[in-house]
Amino acid sequence: MPLAVKQESEYDEALLWIVLFLFGIGLVMVYSASIAVADTRKGFPPYYLVRQSAYILTGAVAGYGAFHVPMRIWQKYAPYIFLFMAFMLFLVLVPGIGRAANGSTRWIPLGVAHFQPSEFMKLCVVLYAADYTVRKAAYMNNLSKGFLPMLFVILFTGMLLLREPDFGAFAVITVITMAALFLGGMNGRLFTALLILAAVGFTLLVLSKAYRMDRVVGFMNPWADPQGKGYQLSHALVAIGRGEWLGVGLGASVEKLLYLPEAQSDFLFAVIGEELGFVGIAVVIGLFAAFVIRSFMIGRTAASMEQYFSALVAQGVGVWIGVQAIVNLGVNMGVLPTKGLTLPMLSYGGSGIVANCLALAVLFRVDYENRQLMKGRTF
């Protein structure tokens, strides 16, 4: 009797489990972190849990549709998708259309929810940067033809984002673009010059606005003004410190009881540290690290089959999720200045969750096409 041959899976099972664990941890922790504020402000303790579940469901449906779009179609329409989202960023700034909150105008009201274009722009930049790098592959060593056009595009996008202002999204988008150019084979000297230019530019941006400088000063010593500039960070550090090795227990956080602002979104990681301790923190960091590794492995497989656009998209998604996670973790632990960046796949937020789901769908599509190409199928 012949031995049964194990059929190769149609998708990356390891990546799927990583994603499911991240979304699952996020759903549990959003409920735990938000229950007090939801009860106080909404009179309905599961308020944020219900909405987060709806966002994940919406993202899953949108992702299912995005998964069935071939990568050649994403590449063909990448510039148009980017232009459309740039128009949406402009629309946010139009009086009477954009909605302001906490000193920023980043949202377009849609009735039951708010649309935040900057979250979707991250995916658009991944697609556009990948397409640009592939189209301009022959000019990656040329300053005027390879580097300057992309610099203009990023500066234009940055101008719109800084008008909101959304400095964090601009930083992530800049890193995504630089990663695409580097992975696409940009000349080493040009890339070094780009790094220096970016460092100088971001330094000038920080110095140009008093509130940005205040955040840097507050991040360096939050205890100097724990009731003012250092309020969020000091409470985040207290939460993480209370967690020690194993945490105080799921649901037992004290800081989430209206002490730590934005506990369900920007500072969800601090609540994870308090309730689940170092072990919980290590699990979350390990999952993100595994996600980035799998993304780059998928990209490398695509590159080995000369699917260069797909390769850069897969790696771009890994860079986006990885960098945003690092920034959020750094903010929560006092390593980086306070920024309004959520923890991908975990933090509460409709636009962020749906954008993450779309990015994951495209990543799974790259992996799917890799596996089909290995079987001889073409797209």
Q: pLDDT tens digits, residue range 239-298? A: 999 999 999 999 999 999 999 999 999 999 999 999 999 999 999 999 999 999 999 999
> pLDDT digit string (tens) for 223-232?
888 888 889 9
Q: Give the residue carrying structure tokens 């954009």.
A: 98
Mean pLDDT, residues 93-110:
89
Whether residue 6 has pLDDT greater than 60: no
Q: Is the pLDDT of residue 236 over 50?
A: yes
Q: Report pLDDT for 340.
A: 79
Tokens at 333, concatenated:
């632990």
Is the Cβ–Cβ distance between 171 and 344 less than 8 Å? no
Numbers of helices and strands, H then E, in the chain: 12, 3
**pTM for the full predicted model:** 0.94
- Scanning the structure block, which residue is given the tokens 């939460």? 239
pLDDT value at 29 more than 90: yes
pLDDT of residue 85: 97
More confident residue, 226 or 119: 119
pLDDT of residue 230: 85
108 DSSP β-pair partners: 115
Average pLDDT over residues 52-59: 98
Conformational region of residue 132, where left means phi above 0, alpha means psi within -120 to 50, and beta covers everything else: alpha
Q: Is the pLDDT of residue 234 over 90?
A: yes
Per-residue pLDDT at 185: 84
Q: How far is CA 16 from CA 26, 171, 365, in A?
A: 15, 28, 12
**Residue 7: its pLDDT value, please?**
57
Render pLDDT for 308-343 as a digit per residue (tens, 0 to 9).
999 999 999 999 999 999 999 999 999 988 877 899
The yes-or-no verdict on residue 100 having pLDDT over 90 is: no
Query: 194 pLDDT exceeds 90?
Result: no
Assess whether pLDDT exceeds 70 at residue 1: no
User: Which has the higher per-residue pLDDT, 202 or 286?
Assistant: 286
**For residue range 174-184, what is the model confidence (pLDDT) as tens digits?**
999 999 989 98
Residue 5 has a pLDDT of 38
Task: Count the alpha carbons within 13 Å of 309 in the hemisphere toward its beta carbon.
Answer: 20
